[in-house]
Amino acid sequence: MATEYLPATPTVQVDDERVRVTEWRIPKGGATSWHRHEMPYVVVPIQGGKLKIATANGDVAAEMVAGQAYSRPLGVEHDVINDDDHDIVFIEVEVKG
């Protein structure tokens, strides 16, 4: 039986010909849901915390540190799960074309 998580809340702040910028809020006990990134992207954590990243190869523990950006290539498939006792907030910048 699959675990039910509270939904993460995405808020698109910019969507133009170059980038899409989205603020993500993952509540305690929440998740983004399984998805595949169609563009390379940069993540800038605002309020960090402990994450569980569900992948096709199993779960991986990760920590988001506020202010410490990282990037990933297109094609990444995962579900990002808040494994901490508080909300996690980050900005995702997807790079188009």
Q: Check residue 69 and give its pLDDT.
A: 98
pTM: 0.93
DSSP 1: -
Q: Check residue 6 and give its pLDDT.
A: 96
Q: 51 vs 1, 32, 56, 82, 88, CA distance in Å?
A: 21, 11, 16, 5, 9
The dihedral of CA 61, 64, 68, 70: what is its sign? positive
Q: Check residue 3 and give its pLDDT.
A: 78
Q: Check residue 1 and give its pLDDT.
A: 52
User: Percent of the chain beyond pLDDT 90?
Assistant: 95
What ranges do the domains of the chain cover?
Answer: 6-95
Walk along the chain (97 residues) and give the pLDDT tens digit of each residue.
567 899 999 999 999 999 999 999 999 999 999 999 999 999 999 999 999 999 999 999 999 999 999 999 999 999 999 999 999 999 999 999 8
The class of domain 6-95 in CATH terms is: mainly beta
